[in-house]
Chains A and B, each alone.
Chain A
């Protein structure tokens, strides 16, 4: 077994943790220095997104539309139409569901340069519970033409995705996962859109993860390594455009694949992998881990990740039973 990308420090426990919301604010402040048209649009969730630092640095470059997510996205479309680069954020559940038609029509159909940040994504909404846990945001945005869709694995990747989005001209949806998470990317890491990262080579089973499940996958791989199970681990920070070749490369080595996502198993990472396998007539067993057509609940992240089998122990259990 060999490490293809030297991107994580030795031992999961030694990884530095960084806060996603803090990263959002700090990154926007940095990006806003040279990009004078970059503005922030909020819907009364400025504290939850982390954009307060940007507002403090550039008080005249923030708009707050109040608790009105449809208006958040429509208003942002108008800003973009006149040359601004709006970063509009709200909880991922509202960004995808409440403002879905606005994302489709006001942004994507018009091809306006709006960046939508879905905060407290998936189970990271934790105790806000089932109404606030977005189980379908990636599926929804993935199905909207012209949108690029990202679920970064850690704060380093998140910051670089934000920078990419600021300079890419077109609609973008980015998940922001609330909390402090280990940073597995090294400081010299360079984000490449729609290019999956091979975190570990292996010949027994393929593991494809995205967002916060990649850290769980890394931990699982360490334990599985000790058990002598060789895992080909792929991190998919970009959900659309999807890196088909990376899946084909994976399946050229293994015939059993496990996908893991902080999302419904319908319509996002696992579905995208299934589509690639079917499209190319590739024979492989696919096990999709995620929320199995159900809602979240009022609980901690650890509890729910364990319950849905998307934490390290769940991944280990699934892979060892394959």
Chain B
């Protein structure tokens, strides 16, 4: 499968689904498309189905980036395609923030930032006993790393040598109120993770080949958890949104929608 092409298709669908819902979290959804594409179409072991105890787990710590995950789950047949119309709708079955009790295939209902990595640690510690080949992937937002609990979990993962835990940070350098460097500067970000005892890898978060290689490298690492700092652009692919923090969430006009579609089709 041409993952880069697949990601482009999923990005366009994500843009359409959010717009159809009346707007939403475009920025962080569009920045995370390649990461989720590589996980769900290449890296993660889901061969035994959702019920398989030894399957890989995915924690979307930044729960507001649910749309691309829903699009992927629909594309893979975990949920009906029709349900994508229910995103954010009154009485609908697809809540803005991912919900495990409403959507098959979601491993953790997130939304309150900073908690997902702790949950991923618990899963990794538990799974490691019986299923050493099973991995837990946790996708964090960069702004989310302002939360102190992320670093509590980071210390724990090192203490328990959770090398079956692979964290990926969608490092788009934007958060709601501005660029991360202006709100709360995360740098030196890689050094922070190293100081917390993690194996640190970095890659272009929009290059599916780079993501594949980097995650493969992470899987081969033993004795430490790995964090992959995936360099991305918020609102990736839509000209007026890309790398602009004001598009963390919002609504767009029909004209803007058409511009966005042209941008995405041109890139795809």
Which residues of A line the B interface, CB within 8 A?
Answer: 63, 65-66, 68, 70-71, 73-84, 86, 101-102, 104-106, 109-111
Contact = CB atoms under 8 A, between A and B. Distances in A.
A68 B152 contact: yes
19 contacts: A66-B156, A68-B149, A70-B118, A71-B118, A74-B115, A74-B117, A76-B122, A78-B120, A78-B126, A80-B122, A81-B57, A86-B122, A101-B115, A104-B112, A105-B112, A106-B112, A106-B119, A110-B108, A110-B109
Contacts of A82: 53, 57, 122-123, 126-127
A71 B108 contact: no
A78 B148 contact: no
Given A71-B149, A74-B122, A106-B118, 16 more contacts: A70-B118, A71-B121, A75-B156, A78-B118, A78-B123, A78-B125, A79-B123, A81-B57, A82-B53, A82-B57, A84-B126, A106-B112, A106-B115, A110-B100, A110-B101, A111-B101
A78 to B, nearest CB: 2
A63 B126 CA distance: 11
B197 interface: no
B109 A81 contact: no
Nearest to B107: A81
Contact of B148 (A70, A79, A104): A70
Main DSSP-derived SS at the B contact region = helix
A70 B120 contact: no
A78 B107 CA distance: 10
A301 to B, nearest CB: 32
Interface residues of B, number: 31
Nearest to B124: A78
B100 A75 contact: no
B125 to A, nearest CB: 7
Given A70-B148, A109-B109, A78 B101 contact: no
Contacts of A63: 125, 160
Interface of B: 53, 57, 100-101, 107-112, 114-115, 117-127, 148-149, 152-153, 155-156, 159-160
A71 B122 CA distance: 9
A68 B155 contact: yes
Contact of B122 (A70, A75, A101): A75
A102 B115 contact: yes
Nearest to B106: A110
A77 B119 contact: yes
Contacts of B124: 78
A74 B122 CA distance: 8
A81 B119 contact: yes
Nearest to A60: B129
B111 A71 contact: no
Most buried by A among B108, B148, B155, B160: B108
A150 B180 CA distance: 44
A71 B118 CA distance: 6
Contacts of A66: 152, 155-156, 159
B156 A65 contact: yes
Contacts of A77: 108, 118-119, 122
A173 to B, nearest CB: 18
Nearest to A109: B109
A75 B109 contact: no
A84 B121 CA distance: 13
Contacts of A106: 112, 115, 118-119
Most buried by B among A70, A71, A86: A71
Contacts of A70: 114-115, 118, 148-149, 152
Contacts of B109: 105, 109-110
